[in-house]
Amino acid sequence: MDTLLPIEADPTRLASLAARGRRPEFTDDPMLDRLYSVALVLTAELAITRLRLDAVERMLGRGDDVSRATVDEFKPEPHEAAERARLQREYLDRVFRALTAEGQRKAG
């Protein structure tokens, strides 16, 4: 699943977009669907937090000043961006493994 998140994607901006259309239906149980939705929102929030923490750690390692503004403006070097994308994919793969397995099981 290496197409989950392009290297140049800005998950902070994407997470703030308002939901449009119908709520996704994962199961026949509305309560379980709400639980999945909560899990997805929390996963997105943690993904953003992990990227911001990575930015802070890299900036501190370089001796850069760290503030909310500098973290917001952080631009990783190409090799850092590739590593961040890989770590993000691995995180999302771990989180969604159960959902993927369930979807494959239902598909037959």
The DSSP string of 34-72 is: HHHHHHHHHHHHHHHHHHHHHHHHHHHHHT----HHHHH
Q: Tens digits of per-residue pLDDT, 45-60? A: 999 999 999 999 999 9
In-domain check, residue 91? yes
Q: Please say whether the beta carbons of 47 and 54 come within 8 A.
A: no
Intra-chain end-to-end CA distance of the chain, in Å? 20
Q: Please give the model's pTM, rounded to 2 decimal places.
A: 0.69
- On whether residue 21 sits in a domain, the answer given is no
Query: How confident is the model over 4-55, as pLDDT tens digits?
Result: 444 455 555 555 556 666 766 767 788 888 888 888 899 999 999 999 999 9
In a domain, 11, yes or no: no
Please give the residue range of the domain that contains residue 30: 26-107
